[in-house]
Amino acid sequence: MACLIHKGFARDDRGISDILAMAFMFLMVIFAGVLLHAYRSDAINSAANRQLQMKAEYLYRTLELAQVENYSLSYFEAAAENLIGVTEPVVPKNYLDNQIGDLLAYLCPPNYTVVVKLTYENFSRLYPSGISEPDNTATQFTFLGKVTIIIAGAATENSVAQVDAVLVMFKS
Amino acid sequence: MRIFKAVLAALLIVIFIALLVSAYNQYSLTLSTAGLVDATTSITNHLVIDNLAHKSGGNVQEYVIDPGKIPSLEFRQEIGGENFGFHLILFYNTGENLDCGPPLPEGKAVAAFLAPVVVYENNRLEPAKLEVKVWRV
C-alpha cells in the first residue's frame, strides 16, 4: 500500500513538473517572439535620421547660397557682415533678423527647431533672434562650415574675414 | 493527461513557427521600407547636386536647382540593381508650385522627402523646397 501511494505521488509530481516545464517554454516562446520582432526595427529610424542629417546640410547650403530678398548678398554673408560690424552693412540688422526668421520658419521641418550660430573672434550671434542655444540632451543634427567675406578697406587694401557658422536642428 | 500534454506541445510548436514567419515578414518589410527611404535620400541628393544643378559659366552650382531642367528629366533611376520611379514638386517661396513626373502608383509603398533647396530664377538665387516621392518600379 505504502509502495502504491509512493508511486502515485511520484507520477503526480512528474505531471506537475511537465506542465511547469511547458509553461516555462510558453514564456520563452513569448520572450523569443518579442525579441524577434524588435530585432532590426531601428533600421527605418536610422534611415530617417540620415534624411534629417541631409536636411540639416541642405538648410545650411540654402542659407549660404540663397539671396536675401531685395539684396544680392546671401543670408550668411549678410549675417557675417552684421556680426563683424562693418561700418555700413548692406542689409540692415532688423530687416535681416526678420528675413532669416521667416526663412527658417518656412524651411524648418515640422516638430523641429533650427538654430544658426555665427561666431567671429569673441562675438557670436544666434538666429532666429531671441532663441537660446539647444541643450545637449536632445538628438541634434548639426552641420558646420565657414563664411568668408571680403571687407573693402578705406584705401586700396581689402581684408578677408572668416566667420564660423553652425546649424543645429533638433526635435522641439 | 497525456493527451493534454501532447496538445500543449503541438500548440507550442505551432505558435513558435507562426512567430518565426511573422518575424521574418516584419524583418523583410522593415528592410524594404528602410531601403526605400534610403533610395529617396539618394535620388534627391542626385537631383540636387547633379541632374538639376544649375550651370553657370561651365561650372556646376551644386545645391542650386535650375527649374528649366525638370521637364527633360527621366523620372526613373536604378539604385543597387533596383528600379525606382519618382515624382517631384518644387515649392517656390512665393507660393507657386511646379509639379512634374508620372502619377503616384496605387497599392505600392511610396516614400517622400522634402528638402530645402535654392532655385535659380530671374537671375536670382531664391530659397525653395523640393519634394521627391519615390516608389519601386
- Return the number of CB contacts < 8 Å for A and B: 96
Please state, as a whole number, how many other Cβ atoms lie within 10 Å of the Cβ of residue B73: 15
Which of B14, B36, B63 to substitute to test the interface with A, most A CBs within 10 Å? B63
φ/ψ of residue B34, rounded to 5: -60, -40
pLDDT at residue number A155: 63
Give the model confidence (pLDDT) of B29-75 as tens digits. 888 999 999 999 999 999 999 999 998 888 889 999 999 999 889 99
pLDDT at residue number A43: 86
Q: Which of A106, A71, A107 is nearest to A92 (CA)?
A: A71
CB-based contact, A38 to chain B, within 8 Å: no
- Per-chain mean pLDDT for chain A: 85
- ipTM passes above 0.95: no
Q: What is the dihedral of CA B70, A50, B114, B41, to 10 degrees?
A: 30
pLDDT at residue number A31: 86
pLDDT at residue number A13: 59
pLDDT at residue number A4: 46
Give the model confidence (pLDDT) of B10-23 as tens digits. 888 898 899 889 88
pLDDT of residue A157 exceeding 80, the answer is no
For residue A21, give how far its alpha carbon lies from the nearest alpha carbon of chain B (Å).
11
Which of B3, B36, B114 to substitute to test the interface with A, most A CBs within 10 Å? B114
